[in-house]
Amino acid sequence: MTKILLTGANGGVGRRLRRLLPAFYPNLRLSDLTPPDDLQPHEEFVAADLADLAQVEAAVAGVDGIIHLGGLSTEYDWADILQSNIIGAYNLFEAARKHNVRRVVFPSSNQAVGFYPRHRRLGTDVTVRPSSRYGLSKAFGEAVAALYADKHGLRTLCIRIGRVHDLPEDERRLALWISPRDFVQLIRIGLEHPDIHFDLVYGLSSNDRSWYDNTRAYELGYSPEDRAEDHREHAMAEQAKLVRNPLADRFMGGRLCTVEYSGDLERSGT
């Protein structure tokens, strides 16, 4: 991998990755709507609106691999999700095909299966149960990744991220947290592992409370360095500041499941 494109470079996860990726991929192209205010000498920036295929093609041209963080990272109105996350995901994969990109890492979300109750333990072979329009867009992105892998040979790894952050921020994140350096390890598997065709893993550190079976990640050589439970005291102190929400606490998707909720609590997620 000579040149890597990182979309969504101005977001919180993108900024964390910019500090870690150069050790492995020193030739980085960044893309977002606006340039970062701290662009480094080893970084190149190409502005792109994901809903504009021509702009996406300009960002993609000449790269070997893509880490697609771009798009909206939580719930928004349908029109915004459609343009940024659904049309944007399609445009990213179509541009990659047209420009002969070899690999795409698609950071999906646990929100693609967010309406499963927390007493379940999920592998990657379950039916998607999105928490929200945002979760739906991530399920769509996973499907696009599978299509382009099977139909066009574009090797893809989808990573259902829980929460990329320096520390787990509350009790729920003790199940979902992934440290930035563990996330980079999964990204490297997606960009470099010889056996990747289309694969789906969960983006988690070594979390004792995890709701997910991440066997496939370990089969691909993933060996997380960080453990959520080591930060339990911090997470629970932050949890004590929060107001409990019984509906959010029932489902893996947490708060996003409660947005505009008018369902049958006894049937949702069953």
The string of pLDDT tens digits covering residues 7-39 is 999 999 999 999 999 999 999 999 999 999 999
pLDDT at 182: 98
261 is catalytic: no
Walk along the chain (270 residues) and give the pLDDT tens digit of each residue. 789 999 999 999 999 999 999 999 999 999 999 999 999 998 999 999 999 999 999 999 999 999 999 999 999 999 999 999 999 999 999 999 999 999 999 999 999 999 999 999 999 999 999 999 999 999 999 999 999 999 999 999 999 999 999 999 999 999 999 999 999 999 999 999 999 999 999 999 999 999 999 999 999 999 999 999 999 999 999 999 999 999 999 999 999 999 999 999 999 998
Comparing CA positions, the residue from 253, 16, 261, 270 lying closest to residue 139 is 253
pLDDT attached to residue 1: 76
Residues 122/112, Cβ–Cβ less than 8 Å: no
| Closest by Cα among 198, 195, 100 to 146 | 198
DSSP string, 223-266: ----BGGGGHHHHHHHHTTSPP-HHHHHBTTTHHHHTT--S-TT
Residue 87: what pLDDT? 98
CA-closest candidate to residue 123, choices 113, 132, 131: 113
Choosing from 25, 90, 116, 134, the catalytic residue is: 134
- 4-258: CATH superfamily: NAD(P)-binding Rossmann-like Domain (3.40.50.720)
